[in-house]
Amino acid sequence: MPTLPMEVERASLGPGLEVSRVLTGLWQVADQERGGRTLDPEAASRALEPYADAGLASFDMADHYGSAEIIAGRLAKRRRDVQLLTKWVPEPGPASPETAAAAVDRALTRLGTDRIDLLQFHPWSYADPSWLDNLFLLAEHQAAGRILHLGLTNCDAVHLDMAIRSGVPIVSNQVCFSLVDRRAAGTMSQVCREHGVKLLAYGTLAGGLLSDRWLGCAEPAIDESLTWSQMKYRRFVDQAGGWERFQALLGTARRIADRLDVADPEGDPNVTSGLAEKNVSIANVACRYVLDQREVAGIIVGARPGERTHIEENLRLFRFALDAQARRELEAACEALHPIPGDCGDEYRRPPFLTASGDLSHHVTHFPAPWPVTAGGGAARVSTGTPWEALAGYSRAVRKGDRIHVSGTTSSHAGRVIGGRDPAAQTHFVIDKIDGALQSLGGSLEDVVRTRIFIRDGVEWEPVARAHGLRFAHIRPANTLVRANTVDDDLLVEIEADAELS
């Protein structure tokens, strides 16, 4: 066994922000408080002191994790060596400067600081461009010094790329990543490499299911006997092929763990350096696998303030390494599972909803129409507010009966060109914009029967075609692609669409 450093590994997310590679997640505060009991913030913050003392001084939370921000803020008042990462997860709907400012103010107040280390934004619906509007507003607060760095959470690869190319300085994306869910290892990691973005991985222990506790256990029911996290990740296990396949994965991890021992700072594998146990656990193997992924800056392991800690087990991650054989065995066990459907974060946007409740009832109350609708003359119409709609006298989309016709749509939005000069990113935003118009009129992309793509002379056509294919491959509408000069040199792609509602 090689001698490994005892120090907690750290990673840089951006200038001035270095975090421990095992971050302490405080989402379980909400679970602790779900019966209506509120944790005492001073006592709970004292319970977090041992994490910071051990070097696990980076804390991840969100505006909806109960009193987590207040608790972490109390801790930060007593010590300057902690990093506070939080999230803004607004309900879907229009963005406004007032709403964004209130969200930042609330986080600053609860954290007891004048600058947030990392504020991560969660987009609910890409068909509603308010997610980008909110990011642009947050970037203004960052420029004003109220936020050090901006991140995303549960954002897919296409829209992470789009946001960055649109000028938002994103440094991280927090996504689910585990032996059960390896979506982030695909296109997401490619986008991160291209833009220098780091991944913060949650769900690495699948709510604690990836542990010795569940090896050989009967399949638990998804009910209130489980924690919220366990209910959520039981649904992931079902999607991955069920409890029997999951048990095979646990068995593989256990066999690998049996071959591993931690090493002490002097290199003597028989000394445990104060760690509670010498042997490596299934949880250790699962965490180390994700930590070893190139684009992962850190994993987020949940803590329940005032209850049992896992500090010793977390520290053990820095005392062993997975060899090539172990990695091959884990890869083979993962390949035997079914891939989790979609891209990162899709579990919050489309069925199957892999949440504790199996739907979005614990997260949002409703999804308003992305664009306002007017009616008259036997038709319903949508306008997206671009200057040309009023100037040239047309609607973005018109519904008459069961047919919806969407006008030629470009990537212009609120005085910006979304996606920069990248034709694929522009195409994806155009399709999002079409989707928003269709949703406002009672349809969806699934109803599209024909598209027409106009590509500006000199622009490469293949990235546009591939982007269209990614979004429409399962729908397969009729399509025409032509060369044509668009009305603006920066607008590289324009798309029309026709839909028929069944």
Per-residue b or e along 128-157, where b marks 16 or more CB atoms closer than 10 Å to that residue's CB: bbbbbbbbbbbbebbeeebbbbbbbbbbbb
Q: How confident is the model at residue 292, as a pLDDT? A: 98
Q: Which residue, chain included where needed, has tokens 């100037």?
A: 391
- Angle among Cα 114, 117, 120 to the nearest 5 degrees reads 115
Q: How confident is the model at residue 274, as a pLDDT? A: 39
Q: How confident is the model at residue 486, as a pLDDT? A: 77
Phi, psi values for residue 191, rounded to 5°: -65, -40
Q: How confident is the model at residue 278, as a pLDDT? A: 54
Q: Has residue 294 got a pLDDT over 50?
A: yes
Q: How confident is the model at residue 6, as a pLDDT? A: 61
Q: For the beta carbon of residue 365, count every other beta carbon within 10 angstroms.
A: 9
Per-residue pLDDT reduced to its tens digit, 90-125? 999 999 999 999 999 999 999 999 999 999 999 999
Q: Has residue 384 got a pLDDT over 50?
A: yes
Q: Has residue 457 got a pLDDT over 80?
A: yes
Q: Has residue 265 got a pLDDT over 60?
A: no
Q: Has residue 273 got a pLDDT over 70?
A: no
Kindly state the average pLDDT of the residues 237-260: 97
Q: Has residue 157 got a pLDDT over 60?
A: yes
Kindly state the average pLDDT of the residues 385-398: 93
Burial of 262 (0-12, 13-18, 19+ CB in 10 A): buried
Q: Which residue, chain included where needed, has tokens 């800690």?
A: 309
The pLDDT mean for the chain works out to 93
CB 177 within 8 A of CB 290: yes
Q: How confident is the model at residue 277, as a pLDDT? A: 47
Per-residue pLDDT reduced to its tens digit, 405-443? 999 999 999 999 999 999 999 999 999 999 999 999 999
> Which is more confidently placed, 494 or 37?
494
Q: How confident is the model at residue 30, as a pLDDT? A: 85
Q: How confident is the model at residue 201, as a pLDDT? A: 98
Cα-Cα-Cα-Cα torsion 370, 236, 317, 333, nearest 10 degrees, comes to -130
| pLDDT band, very low/low/confident/very high, at 270 (cuts 50, 70, 90) | very low
Is cis: bond before 463, omega within 30 of 0?
Answer: no
Structure tokens at 323: 């060899």
The closest alpha carbon to 497, from 473, 474, 472, belongs to 472
Q: How confident is the model at residue 262, as a pLDDT? A: 66
Kindly state the average pLDDT of the residues 331-357: 96
Per-residue pLDDT reduced to its tens digit, 139-155? 999 999 999 999 999 99
Kindly state the average pLDDT of the residues 464-477: 97
Q: How confident is the model at residue 198, as a pLDDT? A: 98
Q: Has residue 480 got a pLDDT over 80?
A: yes
The percentage of the chain sitting over the pLDDT mark of 90, rounded to a whole number, equals 86
Residue 119 identity: L
Q: Has residue 272 got a pLDDT over 50?
A: no
Structure tokens at 117: 């280390």
Distance in angstroms (rounded) separating the CA atoms of residues 340 and 239: 6
Q: Has residue 465 got a pLDDT over 70?
A: yes
Distance in angstroms (rounded) separating the CA atoms of residues 99 and 94: 9
Q: How confident is the model at residue 31, as a pLDDT? A: 75
**Which of 160-174, 207-221, 473-487 is predicted with the least confidence, judged by mean pLDDT?**
473-487
Q: How confident is the model at residue 264, as a pLDDT? A: 53
